[in-house]
Amino acid sequence: MNIYLIRHGDAESVRMGMHDSERQLTEEGISTLTKAAEGWKKLVPGFDFIVSSPLLRAIQTANIVKNVFDYKNEIIIDKAVISGKAAMIAEMANALKAGHIAFCGHEPDCSQYVSEFTSVNGAFINYKKGMIAKISFGGKARVGGGYLDFLIPVKAYK
């Protein structure tokens, strides 16, 4: 099983009267993330499932990935993506029973998940907007049982 953790692209700043969940990707965020996703196609065969946080900027990110990868299914929207607990992500991934699952989320969640999946002592990850990480598991996903195959910043595709 492979889990891909994708942090949303560059988003607008919070304004008066705006809830954080309503923040959208900027034009540059959309453009940069689209270019990055095109580059990811050289490393990722496709996704069996795309799961997104319920926050707008993550859903927009998931939709970019969906379009670039010509993913035909519906995006799964689930609060577990913003739980901050890798065990919840592992539980969802194992229930989906698939080879390649993308989770589109936020910080500090993405760096926390990479750390929990790949290290028993914890690891510091500076997880920038638009980054993707691939964590592979020999079988089922589990905390401490994954291998970090790659962690790619969006600027690699600018």
Which CATH number does the domain housing residue 97 bear? 3.40.50.1240
Give the torsion through C-alpha atoms of 28, 33, 34, 40, to 10 deg.
160
Given a cut of 70, whether residue 117 has pLDDT beyond it is yes
16 located within any domain? no
17 located within any domain? no
The radius of gyration of the chain's CA atoms, rounded to the nearest angstrom, is 14
Helix axes 27-40, 56-68, angle to 10 degrees: 40
- The pLDDT confidence band at residue 110, using thresholds 50, 70 and 90, is very high
15 located within any domain? no
- The pLDDT confidence band at residue 149, using thresholds 50, 70 and 90, is very high
- The pLDDT confidence band at residue 23, using thresholds 50, 70 and 90, is confident
Q: Percent of the chain, pLDDT > 70?
A: 99
98 located within any domain? yes
Given a cut of 80, whether residue 18 has pLDDT beyond it is no
Total domains present in the chain: 1
- The pLDDT confidence band at residue 64, using thresholds 50, 70 and 90, is very high
14 located within any domain? no
Domain range holding 138? 2-8+22-157
